[in-house]
Chains A and B, each alone.
Chain A
Amino acid sequence: MRTILFIVRKEFLQVFRHKVMLPLIFLMPIIQLVILAHAADFEVKNINLHVVDHDQSQASRQLISKFSASRNFNIIGSSFSSQVAYDEIQRGDADLFIEIPAHFQRHLIRNNTASLQLSVNAINGVQAGLASAYASAIIQDFNGQVRAEWAKTAAPPGLSVTFSNWFNPEMNYQTFMVPGILVLLVTLIGMFLSGMNIVKEKEIGTIEQINVTPIRKYQFIIGKLLPFWIIALVELSIGLFVGWLIFDIPFVGSLWLIFGFAAIYLLVVLGLGLLVSTFTETQQQAMFVSWFFLIIFILMSGLFTPIESMPPWAQAITRFNPVAYFVEVMRMVLLKGSSLIDIRQHLIVMLTAALVVNALAVMNYRKTN
């Protein structure tokens, strides 16, 4: 027990002495949160719209005014030629154009049906999808209105859907993103610092001296991981504080639950770092291997794209992604106020993962070869 304490003390001494490490550890959560939370906003505003109106009727003007009233669209130009509109898209000035054919209003009244064309620049798939969805919603809305007014028929009975956003009533992206970004932060510290630290001893050769001391394997490993476990939890506290201070994150659920889950989650991440360190010889190798896993973990964590919209095989992979579990738990507890019962499944998975990963790492770690 005392031996572990000596190693922990030595580690802290080294971390706090490092000129780059210390500021980085404490500035990183603030910088990452402030920058990423603002940047990672999926709401698409200011879609540039070009209008080609061949009809110039009351109906077409009414439709266009609906677009200009929407905060999602900016009408940046209008013309009578789809070629002009197309060129605007080519130049990147417009994101989409709407073409209203001649006799639009007449068809609408006489035939009770009319068509129009939407063309979207789909290079940015997310933006294109959202832009066309917004546009469709506006056209749908217009459709209902027009039927009521001109066709003089009563609006067909149908379902009208109204929305109520629970747990994040204003659909605030930051509320949604900040808990997830905090997970990244904690993961970075856990996986990089711990793994790198052990490999560094190998690379510099200090492990040679350590290995001939009576330090036991478990003492060395705990002594190495404990400091970063503590640092990561401190990071999480700073991050949560910044989230509360700047982004007004609602703390609906219990903070104890968050920290409790983080404590177990970190065992998994630190274990992964340790595992990487056991089969790499230099910090460069460890860095590269860690990045490989981390990129997959992050992109498949549900932080940026919902797991539900991934293909089944990808969803199956995310079951083995610890980051996905923590992102979900963070959102559940912080935004929804989920309790221990609600996250028990996540907890069990994390505990199992912690056991498996660390057992593998310890078995793979050798003092003698």
Chain B
Amino acid sequence: MPLRPSNHLTLNRITMATPAIQVENISKRYGKNVLALNQVSLEVGQGELFGLIGPDGAGKTTLIRILATLLLADKGYAAVNGWEVRRDYRQIRSHIGYMPGRFSLYQDLSVEENLHFFATIFGTTIKENYELIRDIYVQLEPFRTRKAGKLSGGMKQKLALCCALIHKPVVLLLDEPTTGVDPVSRKEFWEMLKRLKEKGIAILVSTPYMDEASLCNRVALIQKGAILSIDEPEKIVSGFDKPLLAVRTNDMYRLIHDLRDFESTHSAFPFGEFVHLSLNNPIWPEAIHAYLAGKQHTGIEIKPAQATIEDAFMELMTQGEMVD
């Protein structure tokens, strides 16, 4: 059982030593059969951009909602900036910025009205914290009087981020902010997060997109309610030590199946227009070529590939499946 900070910690709560987010052995069960989180532990440092990466249904939203004090965990300890989620929920609510996965602003209010409303209920004004949101808000300014429901997906996310920032939070919790947003807006969004991080705000962001992992300081890979790995993105990539090839033929669907049947194959996953093939032991590409030609594949192309974070994740997740 980890040590639980108790009342006496009030004094050094604000020191840099206090992690922005602390999660220890958190478990949450829905009903009888669904174990949404199973003994999850992680820590996010002050000013850190932390990614929570995993497929749909992995438990990302559950964890974020527990930290946002919207959901009570069954077991374990969780704290935001030293405030325990059960006891100090009121402190947390006035000091975090939270963006739910679903757009949750008033669609029938304008951009300005939404921002104004959220500023006032936090007891502040747009003017007071304008500095923090300026970069983002300038892009919204032309649509100031437009109703939030009539904004594009990317603009909605920017507005939601503005509303989450308007009270100058110390920690930002973002639940899949880039899901359903076009690639350009996604990129812009991550640029914004980077700038916010530089201003000293700790950010926990969840995403199903593995390519976004490399934009974080550290990432946690979560699957079926359990964390598979927590590390810096580069270290996760370098942990991938299997020979990797990119393979392409004219029949991609059959290719994956045929490759998975190949004796030396460790795993084969679609990756863009190629299939990434990792091998249990180094073999010559010619051997694979011959194997595929024997399976009536045409237009065969095989080249060595550089492992990316996605390969590393796929590998970790396959291992996770096997443990099951």
Contacts and interface: CB of A to CB of B under 8 A. Distances in A.
Contact of B117 (A6, A17, A212): A6
How many residues of A sit at the interface, in one of the four size bands?
A: 20 to 34
B71 interface: yes
A205 B71 contact: no
Interface string B126-154: 00000000000000000000000000000
Report whether over half of chain B's contact residues are helix, strand or loop; otherwise say mixed: loop
Given A368-B69, A368-B89, A206 B121 contact: no
A186 interface: no
A153 B307 CA distance: 123
B93 interface: yes
B43 interface: no
Interface string A176-219: 00000000000000000000000000001111110111110000
Contacts of A2: 120, 123
A214 B166 CA distance: 13
Interface stretch (A7-15, A56-64, A80-88, A264-272): A7-15
A254 interface: no
Given A10-B109, A13-B109, A205 B103 contact: yes
B72 interface: yes
A152 interface: no
Interface stretch (B94-102, B185-193, B269-277): B94-102
B113 interface: yes
B98 A212 contact: yes
A96 B163 CA distance: 72
Nearest to B164: A209
A149 B113 CA distance: 86
B122 interface: yes
A205 B107 CA distance: 11
Interface residues of B, number: 28
A344 interface: no
Report whether over half of chain A's contact residues are helix, strand or loop; otherwise say mixed: helix
Nearest to A15: B108
A71 interface: no
Interface string B190-225: 000000000000000000000000000000000000
A214 B69 contact: no
B117 A206 contact: no
B144 to A, nearest CB: 15
A335 to B, nearest CB: 42
Given A212-B69, A214-B90, A18 B121 contact: no
Contacts of A368: 69-72, 89
A10 B107 CA distance: 12
Nearest to B90: A214
Interface in A329-368: 367-368
B72 A208 contact: no
Given A13-B109, A207-B104, A209-B104, 8 more contacts: A6-B117, A6-B120, A205-B100, A209-B163, A213-B93, A214-B93, A214-B123, A368-B70
Task: Give the 8 A-B residue pairs with the shortest CB-CB distance, closest first.
Answer: A209-B104, A214-B94, A6-B120, A208-B100, A212-B98, A205-B102, A205-B104, A208-B104
Interface of A: 2-3, 6-7, 10, 13-14, 17-18, 204-209, 211-215, 367-369
